Structure 1
Amino acid sequence: MVTEAISVRVPARSAGHDLRAVKIVLHREMLRFVNDRTRMLSMLMQPVLWLFVMGTGLGSLVQGSIPGVDYRTFMYPGMISMTVIMTGMFSAGSIVWDREFGFLREMLVAPVSRGAIVVGKCLGGAIVATGQGVVILAMAGLVGVPYSPSLMLTLLGEMFLAAFTITAFGVMLAARMKNMQTFFGLMQMAIMPMMFLSGAMFPLANLPSWLHALTVINPMTYAVDPMRQAVFSHLDVPAQVNAVLNPGVRWFDFQVPVPLELGVVAALGAVLLAIGVAEFRRAE
């Protein structure tokens, strides 16, 4: 008896396959987030507490030195950034979860490029984080920020850029990790200094030289400052108060313009995405 071999055809990789893979991974990230309401609420609680509890407390201390401005208005862009950063990193952490339960292996053996998987993860995490940030955006009126259409659209675009970059950073960290405990420990170690040194909670003016240097080399500074510049451009603030609360970022005597700050964030996101793709190509 002669047994005939059954041929198995594997579809060739193509740009169309990769685009469908990006769409599927992105859709899965969004479904996972929408179906996890506990995660949605927990991601919102921390920035809301910082904004309305810590912001109110700190505002009572500095009220006399910043006349005409609610300190929560100053903190508002930083809290948007915090929401986006935390959500983006948690979205990236799902890679480790997928690896533990074997789903990642199934994606890696699919006839699509690993770059498509990474891009899908980053886009999915960025969209989810931006959607979460929209909730904080809706609270603008509660802290004295006007609901200007141009301001809302500007903040929305800047949120997405920051979300994509931080998700790419998280994907790069998670690409080779084996368990969630290691990832979240490393995430906290990386995220907290970045947040505290970004100017999200205190002004960048009149800082000691060593602290100023740390804020300048912190990538998240260039995500927070454009949002603050956008907010303060729509406020009627005394010049001396604006100089204290919204000094911008300086490289020695050079005032960094907002387009260059956004360019720094975009370039960093592209570099982190490339590293994440390279890490995935070396993964099992």
Structure 2
Amino acid sequence: MKASPMGIVQTLCSREIMAFLRQPSRVLSALMTPVLFWVIFGAGIGRSFRPTLEASEGDFLTYFFPGILGLSVVFSGIFSAITTILDRQKGFLQSVLVVPGPRMAIVAGKVLGGALLALLQGAILLLLAPLAGLELTFGSFLLAVLVLALLAFAMTAMGFWFAWKIDSVQGFHGVMNLLFFPLWLLSGALFPAGGAYAGIRWIMTLNPLHYGDAALRHALYVGKPLPDGLPSMTLCFVVIGATALFMLFIASRAIHRGRDRA
């Protein structure tokens, strides 16, 4: 009997969420780490490492807040894919793959579960925006949540693709750290593109996280001038949405071609 695609998605998604919630230490660290990073990094070295903030009319804590939002969601989304490696080692993936049903449902369930967890963490952190000097209206909150949702989905799908290709948690951590931190550093989280060298600006235009960071600034800078060099909100949504669809596509292709890896 063929399993329902929605049933597969729901089962895998709820399994990801329940596994996370059963680990209180993981929940606490996921929520507190970005807050501590924002406060310590922003307050500790903000005066000696100030980006060009004339346009944003705020201090480094204000500028850094959208960047730390992106960091929280992207980091949580990517590293939630570690469960894919663990499920393979425990034999759970093998049992899922023999269930009659579309392979896309397996990808969607795993990715959706990780993305929802990342989005929840980002939405909770978003409530601290007034402490960063950013006005949080109902409209800006919804717009920022939409941006975070797209980012979470895209990055979780990216993490799933790499996790499907890599055999060990240690190897996954190494590859993701090598890839993730340059992407985040060149997203605009620490400095605006308008104040960077031409070569760095060009690299930033190729970075999908740059458009996520820019979209968050469009959403949260209510009544504030935007930093120089930001792409338009329309372009940001196009790039983030296209990245999410592309990563989901290649993750689905990977599970079709690499079924023997499970």
Task: Select between 105-114 and 46-55 the one with higher mean Cα deviation.
Answer: 46-55
- Report the counterpart of residue 114 of structure 1 in structure 2: 103
- Report the counterpart of residue 270 of structure 1 in structure 2: 245
Task: Select between 153-162 and 55-64 the one with higher mean Cα deviation.
Answer: 55-64
Q: CA deviation at 1:139?
A: 1.2
Indicate conservation of the 8 Å contact 2:38/2:61, yes or no: yes
- Report the counterpart of residue 12 of structure 1 in structure 2: 2
Distance 2:237 2:163 in 1: 25
2:187 is matched by which residue type in structure 1? Answer: S
Whether 2:210 is the aligned partner of 1:235: answer no
- Report the counterpart of residue 174 of structure 1 in structure 2: 163
Whether 2:228 is the aligned partner of 1:247: answer yes
Indicate conservation of the 8 Å contact 1:23/1:120, yes or no: yes
TM-score (norm 1): 0.85
Distance 1:174 1:65 in 2: 38
1:109 to 1:206, Cα distance in 2 relative to 1, 3 A: same
Larger Rg: 1
Indicate conservation of the 8 Å contact 1:225/1:248, yes or no: no
The equivalent position to 1:154 in structure 2, one of 143, 151, 169, is 143
1:223 to 1:280, Cα distance in 2 relative to 1, 3 A: same
The equivalent position to 2:93 in structure 1, one of 86, 101, 104, is 104
Q: CA deviation at 1:58?
A: 3.7
Indicate conservation of the 8 Å contact 1:229/1:248, yes or no: no
2:180 is matched by which residue type in structure 1? Answer: I
- Report the counterpart of residue 51 of structure 1 in structure 2: 38
The equivalent position to 1:85 in structure 2, one of 64, 74, 90, is 74
Distance 2:198 2:190 in 1: 18
Distance 2:107 2:178 in 1: 23
Secondary structure of the 2:194 match is: coil
Structure 2 spans left out of the alignment, 5+ residues = none
- Report the counterpart of residue 280 of structure 1 in structure 2: 255
Structure 1 spans left out of the alignment, 5+ residues = 1-10, 250-255
RMSD, aligned α-carbons: 1.9
1:119-134 → structure 2 map (5 Å cutoff): 119-134=108-123
Secondary structure of the 2:208 match is: coil
Distance 1:49 1:178 in 2: 32
Give the fraction of aligned pairs with identical amino acids, expressed as a percent: 31
Distance 1:195 1:49 in 2: 17
Whether 2:12 is the aligned partner of 1:37: answer no
Secondary structure of the 1:272 match is: helix
1:115 to 1:63, Cα distance in 2 relative to 1, 3 A: closer
Q: CA deviation at 1:227?
A: 0.3
1:207 to 1:155, Cα distance in 2 relative to 1, 3 A: same
Q: CA deviation at 1:97?
A: 0.7
2:5 is matched by which residue type in structure 1? Answer: D
Q: CA deviation at 1:211?
A: 1.0
- Report the counterpart of residue 3 of structure 1 in structure 2: none
Indicate conservation of the 8 Å contact 1:197/1:221, yes or no: yes
1:278 is matched by which residue type in structure 2? Answer: R
1:244-264 CA deviation, whole Å, 9 max, x = no partner? xx1243xxxxxx321121111
- Report the counterpart of residue 252 of structure 1 in structure 2: none
Q: CA deviation at 1:231?
A: 1.5
Indicate conservation of the 8 Å contact 2:53/2:59, yes or no: no
Indicate conservation of the 8 Å contact 2:5/2:102, yes or no: yes
Q: CA deviation at 1:68?
A: 4.7
1:205 to 1:63, Cα distance in 2 relative to 1, 3 A: closer
1:12 to 1:236, Cα distance in 2 relative to 1, 3 A: closer
